[in-house]
Amino acid sequence: MTVMKIAWESLVPNCIKPDQNTKKNPKEKKVIRTQISFHGIPVSDISSSTLSSDLSISLAGSNIHSFNLQELRVITQNFSTSNFIGEGGFGPVHKGFIDDKLRPGLKAQPVAVKLLDLDGSQGHREWLTEVIFLGQLSHPHLVKLIGYCCEEEHRLLVYEYMPRGSLENQLFRRYSVSLPWSTRMKIALGAAKGLAFLHEAKKPVIYRDFKASNILLDSDYTAKLSDFGLAKDGPEGDDTHVSTRVMGTHGYAAPEYIMTGHLTAASDVYSFGVVLLELLTGRRSVDKNRPHREQNLVDWARPQLKDPRKLRRIMDPRLEGMYSEEGIQNAALVAYQCLSHRPKARPDMSTVVKTLEPLMNYDDSSSMVTFVYTARAESSDVSEKDIQGEDSQKELKKESISSPHHQKQHHHHKNHYKHRKELSPNSPLHNGFKRA
């Protein structure tokens, strides 16, 4: 993992308007920034007229390419519907393919090209935020920015292609295959590592829009954070928080941030807790189609996380009980702490990572014994061939239960019996469970 050291004052040298009237108040102990800035550069002071050339010069050694619009038309077949992937607040996304024929030195790979919708909910400011943060930050659990295009009014971003799409689609899309427990924990751990990296960077970053749709998955279900349009520099020095206009997504934003506009790393921790709840329950953070008491996931689920019996009732039924009892209780403990109404009571993301890492070692059926019973039909009309077929099915099921292969395919069985286990006393969050 690396943090690229780029002097952002040199990133847009021709676009900065120096404010000579700004004087620091010596009596003010805590300076709270009230607008989006990039290491001291207010976005409102950045003009788009010379932005493209400034970015090209300053990002020359960063492996981030400046594409022109025609090149992106070519690789997406003129943004054809056949290459359309999806659409978010930023705008439509199309799949493309780049190689050294397009530009010498380019690695041959599929890419995702995101086109800014000029009439959408996000704009030039968010586009620039994304280029700057992803141009500065590099980590296995952050989506890789390959290049950008800033041509006249057009704003585009080119990312590595993530074949599994978003966690939101994998969890909630109709007819999608249910994610097994081990995969859910892998995704949670990867996303947690991405947030921990941002929070612990030399210049801390608050992500501010952590949600299932912003977690992208590669072919191995490795989670990577995307969409940095709302990200902000974290507080520095004696600052306790960053004061900003409330942005984000309903159902994921921390309550204190919504009420005060005070943004801290703990705000991201709360949002992580919401996503972890979604992974546990298979429910959306907000679902107006459910009964009134169950529409807000946090309000409905958090009070039930401490009781093992209630916890089992709210677990995603599509898991069909294929999980470790100890595993779900420890994961629920992490979610419970992250969702504390007291920001200071929430763990930091490095603690969350340490707590989730051991859960990767639990097999999906480690606390479960599976029984399969096939009753022979009593009807005299049943042929000998049918009976032989049933007997062979019995043998097949018996073999699959005892074979190592069953450990990977056990989620297809529905009948099960689970042994309860106690919470692991070694969990970093175990001792703080009752205090939240």
CATH of the domain at 276: 1.10.510.10
User: Are 204 and 254 within one domain?
Assistant: yes
Judged against a pLDDT cut of 80, whether residue 104 lies above it is answered with yes
Q: Which of 313, 424, 322 is closest to 366 using CA atoms?
A: 322
List of residues 6+ apart from 278 with CB closer than 8 A: 171, 212, 284, 285, 297
pLDDT value at residue 190: 98
The Cα–Cα gap between 179 and 104 comes to 40
pLDDT value at residue 117: 81
- Report the pLDDT averaged over residues 229-242: 69
Q: Between 91 and 23, where is the model more confident?
A: 91
- Report the pLDDT averaged over residues 197-223: 94
Backbone angles phi, psi at 375, to 5 degrees: -85, 135
Q: Between 286 and 435, where is the model more confident?
A: 286
The Cα–Cα gap between 159 and 143 comes to 7
- Report the pLDDT averaged over residues 205-223: 95
Q: Between 116 and 49, where is the model more confident?
A: 116
User: Are 207 and 346 within one domain?
Assistant: yes
The Cα–Cα gap between 198 and 200 comes to 6
User: Are 124 and 218 within one domain?
Assistant: no
User: Are 305 and 174 within one domain?
Assistant: yes
Range picked from 32-41, 196-205, 236-245 for highest mean pLDDT: 196-205
Domain boundary among 300, 332, 358: 358
Say which amino acid occupies 57: I
| Low-confidence winner among 82-91, 154-163, 182-191, 206-215 (lowest mean pLDDT) | 82-91
Backbone angles phi, psi at 361, to 5 degrees: -85, -10
Average pLDDT, the chain: 77
User: Are 151 and 172 within one domain?
Assistant: no
User: Are 330 and 238 within one domain?
Assistant: yes
User: Are 154 and 167 within one domain?
Assistant: no
User: Which structure tokens are listed for 291?
Assistant: 């009964």
Q: Is residue 296 packed enough to be buried (19+ CB in 10 Å), middle (13-18) or exposed (0-12)? A: middle
Long-range Cβ contact pairs of 426-433 (< 8 A, separation 24 or more): 426/358, 427/330, 427/333, 427/355, 427/358, 428/347, 428/351, 428/354, 428/355, 429/333, 429/334, 429/337, 429/347, 429/351, 429/355, 430/333, 432/337, 432/345, 432/347, 433/306, 433/333, 433/336, 433/337
- Report the pLDDT averaged over residues 121-126: 73
Residue with tokens 């206009």: 245
Collapse the DSSP code of 331 into the 3-class scheme (helix H, G, I; strand E, B; otherwise coil) and give the result: helix
Q: Between 244 and 164, where is the model more confident?
A: 164
User: Are 143 and 231 within one domain?
Assistant: no
Residue 309 lies in a domain: yes
pLDDT value at residue 90: 80
Domain boundary among 112, 132, 158: 158
Specify the pTM.
0.74
8 Å CB contact between 95 and 85: yes
User: Which structure tokens are listed for 31?
Assistant: 């300076």
User: Are 308 and 344 within one domain?
Assistant: yes
Q: Between 109 and 55, where is the model more confident?
A: 109
Active site residues: 209
User: Are 72 and 118 within one domain?
Assistant: yes
- 15 forms beta bridges with none
pLDDT value at residue 241: 62
Q: With bands split at pLDDT 50, 70 and 90, how would you rate the model's confidence at 427?
A: low
Q: With bands split at pLDDT 50, 70 and 90, how would you rate the model's confidence at 60?
A: low
CA angle 389, 390, 394 (to 5 degrees): 120
Percentages helix, strand, coil for the chain (3-state, rounded to 5) are 40, 15, 45
Q: How many domains does the chain have?
A: 2
Domain boundary among 110, 137, 158: 158
Interval 355-403: pLDDT, tens: 999 988 776 654 443 434 444 444 444 444 443 444 444 443 444 444 4
> Structural domain of residue 130, as residue ranges?
47-158
The Cα–Cα gap between 419 and 368 comes to 6
User: Are 189 and 149 within one domain?
Assistant: no
| Low-confidence winner among 116-125, 308-317, 322-331 (lowest mean pLDDT) | 116-125
